[in-house]
Each structure stands twice: as C-alpha cells, then as structure tokens.
C-alpha cells in the first residue's frame, strides 16, 4: 500500500463458514488485505460456526434473539445483519457481499453510498431446480440479487455479461504457489494415475468422469487408476469400479499432495463452460496434464473441452494418451507460466484497486 493512501476498513457479512471454495477465497483475500495494511472483519450471528478456512480477520457479531426458531431463523439473521450494517456503516469503507442472500442487507444498508460491493463467484440460479417451491424461490432470489444496487465484481470474464449479471470488474480467485508446487508426475508404462475432485451433485459431472475412465480402460488396456477426492455420486457403486481410490484430503497441504499423485487431472463439469474452476487452477499449478472446460484452462495449457459429456471426456483421455512427450510438456510448461497471474498477492491487489476505483481513491 502506498504511503499516500489510507488503509481501508472492510466488512464481509456471512451467514455461515462452509468448506465451499467461495469461502476459501474470502478467508485468503482477508489475510492478504491485512498483509497490505487494511483492516478486515467478518460479520455473522452470535451462533455462527468457526471458519473452515482459518483467517486472521476479526469477527463482529450481531445478536439474533430468535435463533431457536428453525423456520424463521434465517430470515431474522438477515434482518439483524441489516440492522448491524445500518448502525455501523460509517465505520467501514467497504461492505463486501459474496452470496445472494447477504447481498440484500448489504445493498439496503449501503444505499446512497459507494460502499456496497458484490463479489460474484458463480451464476447461482443455475444451481437450483425450479421443480420445487424451495428451488424456485432460491432461483428467483439469486436472480434478483444481481439487480441490486451494488458494485459487482466477478471471478471470471464469462460472468461480466452473463444472463442476469452485469459486472464492471473481474478479479479471479488466487492460489498459494508455495503449497501447490509444480512437480509433474511422470507416466510409467501402462499405469496412468488420473485424478478428479468428486462431488455428489449431478451437474458437477463426477459420474461422467468415472464412466469415461472406465471406457478408456476397456478400449485401450491401459491401467488407469482414478484418484477421487471427497465424494462419489450416490448412484455410483464403488464396488463396480475397483480402479477408484477415494480419499479425503482436507486442508491445502493434503490437497496439494493429492494433486501431485496424478499425471492427468480431469477438472470438468456440466455447467458454465469457461467459468473459473479451482481444481483446474490447482491441477495446472501442480504440474498435472489437465482435461477441462473451465478457466484458467485453454487450448494451449490443457486439453480443453466445451459442452462436456462422457464421450468428450473419453476422447480427451485418448488424446492425452496419444500425445507425445514434447507436446505434452509444452502444455504443462504453459500452464506453469499461466498460473503465476493467480498468486494471492496479485489477486488481492486487483481487488483493492476495484474498491479504490469505486470509492474514488485511485
């Protein structure tokens, strides 16, 4: 931070601390902001859980006296969050919402100021099924949040003008390159270590990855071994796929080691091609060859796909197996250079510049 600029006071309202990637981004950004000399607080109810991703930011609490009522507890959390923000908005330069529900109290409490910001890390309406009342309500609320009078920053260029979103700036999430070390694992003979992050949700596409690996094993005779982190889809019977090795690499250190176990990493999903995707970035940083339809992957640093399905993943694995060492190393080397732009210090500085521009401090 330059000597002629005052430190910013930043408040981040949250309803809970989860293990989701978006929360990880907030914790990491908060710590980098603090390193830069800024003051950062998280705001939650008096009963909020501890951060899943540790942070040096301090907690501020609002009191919800109706926390024991299960149906309306969430609504009153938003109401008392709003009350706290109204009472304390003069104490902060930035109120940074990150989730569609917290965007509403943040927007209403910062009306008439330039202090309200909304960091959009995914197009959330596409995650909800409109076939149920709760799903339809979540779809409607998340869509409506993009029309709130907040300064919108997105985590990838795809979202600047994506359906209901109209954003001004792009700030991609970051990575700790001191932990996710570039250390490619060489393929040895017919044994190919393949990795993916497993999720139960269908749109995450884990089932398609498993089926593609199974198909390639049957077609080529190669011993593809699939290392899956965290979860398997409920419809997948692990006993039917003996080549799967499921593990729980919680924490960045274990997760970084998990990536380095694989020569090839499949970071694909069934929604929002070219959106930012942490497994893609982390696998690229770790030296894996990557199959993906997400950013920061592209045709020069990965085996890049669009409109993903099982057949396309299968073909991409076959392409990987047929690629000579020189061409493969060229992709991996390009990926190593591309991930440098995602170091946390670079990302945090980009976000601060967005704040200063909006606040006319730049």
Q: What is the pLDDT of residue 1?
A: 56
Give the per-residue SS3 of 271-340.
CCCCCECHHHHHHHHHCCEEEECCECCCCCCCEECCCCCHHHHHHHHHHHHHCCHHHHHHHHHHHHHHHH
Report how far apart, in Å, the C-alpha atoms of 125 and of each of 128, 139, 272, 284, 350 are: 6, 5, 12, 28, 27
Q: Domain spanning 9-174+343-358 has what CATH number?
A: 3.40.50.2000
Q: Quote the pLDDT of residue 73.
A: 84
pLDDT (0 to 100) of residue 162: 96
Distance in angstroms (rounded) separating the CA atoms of residues 290 and 311:
17
Question: Can 9-174+343-358 and 191-342 be said to share one CATH topology?
Answer: yes
pLDDT by 10-residue block (mean), the chain, 362 residues: 78 94 95 98 95 95 85 89 97 97 98 97 92 93 98 96 96 96 90 97 96 98 97 94 96 95 98 95 98 98 98 98 96 98 96 97 76
Q: The dihedral of CA 170, 171, 172, 177: what is its sign?
A: positive
Domain ranges of the chain: 9-174+343-358, 191-342
Count Cα neighbours of 309 within 13 Å in the Cβ-side half-sphere.
2
What is the architecture, at CATH level 2, of domain 191-342?
A: 3-Layer(aba) Sandwich (3.40)
What pLDDT score was predicted for residue 5?
Answer: 78
Q: Is the peptide bond before 296 cis (omega within 30 degrees of 0)?
A: yes
**Predicted local confidence at residue 19, as pLDDT:** 86
Q: What is the pLDDT of residue 361?
A: 86
> Cα(41)–Cα(151) distance, rounded to whole angstroms?
19
């Amino acid at each position: 931070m330059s000597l002629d600029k005052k430190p910013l006071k930043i408040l981040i309202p949250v309803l809970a601390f989860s293990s989701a990637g978006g929360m990880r981004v907030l914790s990491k950004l908060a710590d980098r902001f603090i390193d830069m000399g800024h003051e950062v607080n998280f705001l939650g109810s008096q009963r909020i859980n501890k951060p899943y991703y540790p942070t040096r930011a301090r907690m501020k609490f609002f009191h919800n006296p109706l926390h024991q009522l299960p149906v309306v507890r969430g609504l009153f959390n938003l109401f008392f969050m709003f009350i706290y923000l109204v009472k304390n908005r003069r104490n902060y330069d930035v109120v940074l919402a990150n989730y569609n529900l917290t965007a509403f109290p943040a927007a209403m409490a910062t009306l008439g100021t330039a202090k309200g910001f909304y960091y959009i890390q995914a197009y959330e309406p596409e995650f909800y099924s409109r076939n149920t009342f709760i799903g339809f309500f979540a779809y409607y609320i998340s869509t409506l949040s993009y029309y709130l009078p907040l300064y919108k920053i997105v985590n990838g260029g795809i979202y600047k003008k994506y359906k209901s979103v109209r954003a001004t700036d792009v700030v991609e999430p970051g990575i700790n390159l001191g932990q996710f070390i570039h250390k490619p694992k060489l393929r040895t003979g017919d044994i190919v270590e393949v990795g993916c992050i497993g999720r139960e949700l269908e749109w995450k596409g884990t089932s398609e990855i498993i089926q593609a690996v199974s198909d390639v094993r049957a077609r080529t005779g190669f011993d593809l071994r699939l290392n899956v982190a965290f979860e398997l889809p409920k419809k997948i019977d692990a006993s039917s796929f003996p080549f799967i090795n499921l593990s729980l690499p919680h924490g960045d250190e274990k997760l970084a080691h998990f990536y380095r176990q694989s020569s090839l990493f499949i970071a694909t999903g069934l929604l929002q091609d070219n959106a930012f995707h942490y497994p893609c970035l982390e696998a690229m940083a770790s030296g894996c060859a990557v199959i993906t339809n997400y950013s920061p992957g592209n045709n020069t640093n990965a085996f890049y796909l669009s409109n993903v399905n099982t057949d396309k993943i299968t073909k991409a694995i076959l392409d990987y197996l047929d690629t000579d060492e020189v061409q493969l190393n060229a992709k991996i080397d390009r990926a190593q250079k591309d991930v440098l732009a995602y170091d946390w210090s670079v990302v945090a500085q980009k976000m601060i510049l967005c704040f200063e521009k909006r606040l006319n401090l730049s």
